[in-house]
Structure 1
């Protein structure tokens, strides 16, 4: 090879020139293989592309019989080319014909060539094709030559991914990267979204940004970015409680170890020295790593893939200057957001008006990010393995939040089918709108209050649009999550006052600040915990930081001057916690009286029942509170010790099984005996099946997502409480013959006014 690094650089520059020429895709491919062969002093260079049917088709060659182009095909795993595609690793042989996987294709005329070097054409770890060079002489290609061909293959991957080759493909034999893809996930938030993919962690780069103008500049950019990344991780490990020893520390140390791995940095520097930009080098190395680790059988290796993905994405954000959130200007008007995982605050960084759907790999139905998506009315599906690697930015995508189906690059008939579904859904919503002012009354005359879950100003119009009876849960933490700094008392008071004004006399129940777990405030120092869901969060945070809680109470009281204030504390585990929180409220009211501020006309204090321990102090709690709300999401996850954000266990237990329903039954029976109002919030209340069981047990107030109000009202008006009570009784008894679940589904699907 001519010059360890001069050859690849020259080749990349010439490839960029070829790809910019106004010629057909086939002409580009033909010129590219000629360039590669000349640069590497190879007598053969061939490009194979993986098709939608799983076959590898010869698309271009220099040195083999030109008549074999578009005629020679190999199955994945067949021959040496198929082996490279299957294993996603380079294959370097001095005597190809002696290899047991060698497959003779007489039409190519390759039998006279002995040495063989094949590299996979990879993108995000997925194989798009194979690039091959061959020589007549028996030789083993050098490590530099292997690296050069891999670098060139990355440029080829961009060309294949762009869709250019579809124009020269036979129908039914298009490149696999452009094939329609249907994936089945889990429905997480209702609705149907049609639009174009936006990757939450963008990995793709424009072709012109792959090839370096000045290699020395790119090396320096890479070194500076790596140093900045390492420094940020070092700072993280020095923060407060993170610095102490423990399992969490070991995890972060392992993560930092990856960032300091010399081999990782060396591979990226070598890719830059061959002519790639710093960004392209990061992507190239991570794509190779992902390809190997995706095929690993050891669970440990596959789990580490997420760490390495995150590390590469952090480095890319440093290099591209996008360390502080997404670039909204890059979003289409109808965006489908695609993410492996996402914090709730990250979703709020995106402009709601442009979001049509969300596809997220690692989230359960009650994850906080899904609660936010549901509140915003974003159709969401999740738990689709590797979907973020299978979708390209800009791909047309359909996400069905009702069934969990995800369609990538859908064919025309699928698109038309979903357009019809969207129209049908719009007509159904129009029907709900038409009946929004009708009460939720069962056929035997029992009235049910349907309240809204809210937390953002964007939620407030839904109160009038749905005809809901009020807001049963206003999540005050969302204001804190969207703000770049801790909201001052005046800012909080303004929001709460506006919410009460827009509610126009309907009741609003404010939940005090519930942060912690996966709801992290960027401007407050976080505490790394081994199990944050069971850690320092919600009322525990408020009682330990009384200044923040008192400031919020003051803002709520002043905003409610002359009006009713309904306020409840989250995650109460013992009666003593409620007593302490109530004491802070009384101190704040005393302070306001002293300074002559007008107080709320009536103050109603409540507690969230979501920690199992409070079930054993429920009688004492009910003596103290004005009302309670059941947080079904947390109560279910704590009762079953199943992390709701972990897809492996989120659906492991049945919330409609007798164990969980008996807990709900205990709550409603004790609340009714004490004469205290009780509302159920969360996922269980929002689903018709859960609502049937809850109403059958005696609950008469549900606080749900805006999209659930219409369907639930239709279900309630279509059934009788007597039938619901019968179903609930059989579910509580364990439903031995399965008939109760059948009746439950039938009643839940009955929705006619």
Structure 2
């Protein structure tokens, strides 16, 4: 029996010999599968190509029925081949027919074969097909054989990507890169962006695969790694990165990973097996991406994403376009990426960015948090958008609806351009309102503050005309960091926020993590069935007093000589507020003992988000210095509706009578006790709900900066007393349709109030 080649190098040598001979692409692919079968001592080798219609078509085979070529087809996810294509991971089976995904194709004659090894054909992170070998004998293929198949699959990927292979199906392999394409994803940051595609660096394509001199390629790889490390050091030294203190720890983590010996060793092994330096980097990067798709643990996904980012940077070092981002950016750039890190987004010049589209992405992703703070519209979960995009394509990002329109037709472009012009005109009108007093048409005063959480939010305080920061989300610093921020880093951020506020009030919410706010490095977080109702916010902080005390100490020191307003999230009972106050007093005594500066006054408030407090309002108003209604969570718990569940999130109206009655009871008790009351949340940023809040007696609200202009415009034009006289009797008597929305809409239309 013939010996199996010891590794991929001999097979690569034979594949390279086929590559240099003149022949048409189909013949070359046929020769590939024949050579692979012989070199791997396999009875069968087959290549499946993923078409534009998500069908895997058999394009070449050695050992199966040749008449099945171009006739055998599998859907993405169907059978073993479809499973490999959808997961981008290899399958190594000694008895393929026992696997639950196995599907017999009678036209192929494959019933004789038991062992099965299939690997995805990847190029620039995109799955283009599947390469398979089969044997009659029951066996498990070795790691060297898997490595050989994966390496050869890279070469076949380049052959497929050239677009010259022709199938019998009319669908073909090629993607139509000219026709309009629309993708519906998830809205992650509001706004509309019109511009031209800038593909993020995962589209760096490696075309030079085989090395002629292993030692020279290893030297190139080593030189590029040194350059990568120097680039990260330079980024850390840049003034603007130093200013954005919350991102610095991300770059520190990148620097640590750039020195990871295991990562470097895997790339060196790929080069020793016959690949060029850049092909070796892409080989390891493809393996990382395949692992990312099957990992749910947020800590591991963040770490693998960091390695993916590093591989992109390393490829740019090797191909010589490390500085291409800044120089080739159009003035209306829309970034398209599978995924990207927050630090990568900061590499791009901010003044040219008009939007961001991600195939991955979630509301709590680091890059989304930073993009939202920068005011960039973001659409995530736009699956497949990278594959159909090219640099320079016209594109529209609708961050309001979560839609992406690629190469849109002219009428679509004109419609969205008109939308953008209208929004820009309205923004100019809103900016003109900044200096006008916050007084309604009938003389009632109101206060509009903004929500923030990063230093990049702070310029919007002046631009929006906000009265202050009603909610500073301290957890965002933790969410964009790779480890728990140290006390001095926290203090530096808080001190900068106070300085940038220009004397306006700032309310810091203490650490609110848990639930949907996952810290990837917090390994002790439990696996909870209902995380929104579980170990989060003040519950976690009181159970981890060391973490809580570190933050309190940083806040107290940063506020020396001024007032400190602290707000405790998700208070469920008065005891939690008392325990928090006791911890604050202990930290005050500690700092005083060692001569540290202290705030002139510390105000401790509670965020009213849990309905239990509605039945203890008198004690709450006595215990807290101020109250802030967290309307998002309070409505979620009040109506038992998961705001992250698309099936029920829009089922109930925030202007429903029961919820408005609850809000009015809070406002009445705050007035009775003389306790300062603010409402934070989405309902504060919509003119129609803002009118209802002021009519209920809630005259202080905090919202996203973009909401301040429209809300102020509506309130300035409203006789709030007249609205109150119509609304309050309906709360007492009820409204047939169970919500006040129609009443307020009719009132606004009658009095020409913009909603």
Pairwise TM-score range, normalised by the shorter structure:
0.5 to 0.7
TM-score, normalised by the number of residues in structure 1? 0.65
2:538 matched residue in structure 1: 539
1:258 matched residue in structure 2: none
Give the counterpart of 2:376 among 369, 375, 378: 378
Output the CA distance in 1 between the equivalents of 2:410 and 2:303. 37
By how many angstroms is 1:459 displaced?
Answer: 1.6
Output the CA distance in 1 between the equivalents of 2:544 and 2:75. 58
Give the counterpart of 1:505 among 494, 503, 506: 503
Does the Cα contact within 8 Å between 1:366 and 1:683 map onto a contact in 2? Answer: no
Output the CA distance in 1 between the equivalents of 2:728 and 2:18. 69
Q: Quickly say closer, same or farther: Cα 1:455–1:11, change in 2 above 3 A.
A: same
Output the CA distance in 2 between the equivalents of 1:411 and 1:129. 31
C-alpha offsets along residues 383-424 of structure 1, whole Å, 9 cap, x if unaligned? Answer: 65x356756685854321123221235456655654554444
Q: Quickly say closer, same or farther: Cα 1:622–1:739, change in 2 above 3 A.
A: closer
Give the counterpart of 1:9 among 12, 19, 23: 12
The answer on 1:350 being equivalent to 2:338 is no
C-alpha offsets along residues 105-130 of structure 1, whole Å, 9 cap, x if unaligned? Answer: xxxxxxxxxxxxx9998879988799
- Local SS of the residue matching 1:496: helix
The 5 A counterparts of 1:150-161 are none
Output the CA distance in 2 between the equivalents of 1:658 and 1:717. 25
- Local SS of the residue matching 2:445: coil
Unaligned runs of 5+ in 1: 19-27, 61-76, 92-98, 103-117, 133-142, 222-268, 291-303
1:704 matched residue in structure 2: 703
Output the CA distance in 2 between the equivalents of 1:15 and 1:730. 82
TM-score, normalised by the number of residues in structure 2? 0.65
- Local SS of the residue matching 1:398: strand
Q: Quickly say closer, same or farther: Cα 1:677–1:339, change in 2 above 3 A.
A: farther
Q: Quickly say closer, same or farther: Cα 1:127–1:6, change in 2 above 3 A.
A: closer
- Local SS of the residue matching 1:452: strand
Does the Cα contact within 8 Å between 1:190 and 1:401 map onto a contact in 2? Answer: yes
By how many angstroms is 1:358 displaced?
Answer: 3.9
Q: Quickly say closer, same or farther: Cα 1:422–1:591, change in 2 above 3 A.
A: same
Q: Quickly say closer, same or farther: Cα 1:156–1:595, change in 2 above 3 A.
A: closer
Does the Cα contact within 8 Å between 1:362 and 1:382 map onto a contact in 2? Answer: yes
Does the Cα contact within 8 Å between 2:302 and 2:520 map onto a contact in 1? Answer: no
Output the CA distance in 1 between the equivalents of 2:381 and 2:28. 43
Give the counterpart of 1:36 among 13, 29, 36: 29
Does the Cα contact within 8 Å between 2:123 and 2:205 map onto a contact in 1? Answer: no
2:446 matched residue in structure 1: 448
Over aligned residues, Cα RMSD in angstroms?
5.8
Unaligned runs of 5+ in 2: 36-45, 61-67, 83-104, 109-117, 133-139, 222-268, 317-321
The 5 A counterparts of 1:303-702 are 307=296, 321=310, 333=329, 334=333, 336=335, 338=337, 347=342, 350-351=345-346, 353-354=349-350, 356-359=354-357, 373-382=371-380, 384=382, 386-387=383-384, 396=393, 397-410=395-408, 414-415=412-413, 418-483=416-481, 486-521=484-519, 526-530=524-528, 531-594=530-593, 599-645=598-644, 647=646, 650-651=649-650, 653-702=652-701
1:67 matched residue in structure 2: none
Does the Cα contact within 8 Å between 2:336 and 2:386 map onto a contact in 1? Answer: no
Output the CA distance in 2 between the equivalents of 1:672 and 1:633. 22
By how many angstroms is 1:625 displaced?
Answer: 1.2
Output the CA distance in 2 between the equivalents of 1:337 and 1:669. 49
By how many angstroms is 1:723 displaced?
Answer: 3.1
Does the Cα contact within 8 Å between 2:656 and 2:740 map onto a contact in 1? Answer: no
C-alpha offsets along residues 512-532 of structure 1, whole Å, 9 cap, x if unaligned? Answer: 222334445566654333244
2:248 matched residue in structure 1: none
C-alpha offsets along residues 284-308 of structure 1, whole Å, 9 cap, x if unaligned? Answer: 7899999xxxxxxxxxxxxx95659
By how many angstroms is 1:620 displaced?
Answer: 0.7
1:181 matched residue in structure 2: 181
The 5 A counterparts of 1:105-116 are none
Q: Quickly say closer, same or farther: Cα 1:533–1:641, change in 2 above 3 A.
A: same
- Local SS of the residue matching 1:381: strand
Output the CA distance in 2 between the equivalents of 1:489 and 1:147. 46
Q: Quickly say closer, same or farther: Cα 1:737–1:130, change in 2 above 3 A.
A: same
Output the CA distance in 1 between the equivalents of 2:315 and 2:725. 49
Output the CA distance in 1 between the equivalents of 2:488 and 2:285. 46
Output the CA distance in 1 between the equivalents of 2:343 and 2:661. 37
1:253 matched residue in structure 2: none
Q: Quickly say closer, same or farther: Cα 1:391–1:620, change in 2 above 3 A.
A: farther
1:80 matched residue in structure 2: 71
1:736 matched residue in structure 2: 736
Q: Quickly say closer, same or farther: Cα 1:592–1:651, change in 2 above 3 A.
A: same
Output the CA distance in 1 between the equivalents of 2:209 and 2:735. 61
By how many angstroms is 1:450 displaced?
Answer: 0.6
- Local SS of the residue matching 2:702: strand
- Local SS of the residue matching 1:630: strand
Does the Cα contact within 8 Å between 1:715 and 1:752 map onto a contact in 2? Answer: yes
Output the CA distance in 2 between the equivalents of 1:324 and 1:147. 24
> How many pairs were matched up?
627
Does the Cα contact within 8 Å between 1:657 and 1:734 map onto a contact in 2? Answer: no
The 5 A counterparts of 1:57-136 are 80=71
By how many angstroms is 1:642 displaced?
Answer: 4.7
By how many angstroms is 1:156 displaced?
Answer: 6.1
Does the Cα contact within 8 Å between 1:437 and 1:467 map onto a contact in 2? Answer: yes
1:192 matched residue in structure 2: 192
Q: Quickly say closer, same or farther: Cα 1:473–1:147, change in 2 above 3 A.
A: closer
